[in-house]
Amino acid sequence: MIKDKKTVADEIISQAKKLGYDNFKKVMPNEIAAEIAVEHSKRMFKEIVLVQKMIDENR
């Protein structure tokens, strides 16, 4: 994310476009929003596990 200079919002917009959502003036369909939420929750879980491991190693 940092090396690409993309924000999380940029990533979400990009993912939404890949999933077929391109009219940002309309409400996003639940299916697309759910897919994005699941993907980001998986990523967040991995980051939490990594941070916990780093904390444990430095105790």
Q: How many domains does the chain have?
A: 1
Residue 1 counted as domain residue: no
Largest CA distance in the chain: 49
Tens of pLDDT, residue by residue over 7-55, are: 989 999 999 999 999 999 999 999 999 999 999 999 999 999 999 999 9
Residue 15 counted as domain residue: yes
Query: Cβ of 41: how many Cβ atoms within 10 Å?
Result: 10
Q: Which of 8, 2, 33, 10 is nearest to 20 (CA)?
A: 33
DSSP assignment letter at 59: -
Examine the pLDDT at 1 and tell me if it is beyond 70: no
**By residue range, what is the domain housing residue 45?**
8-57
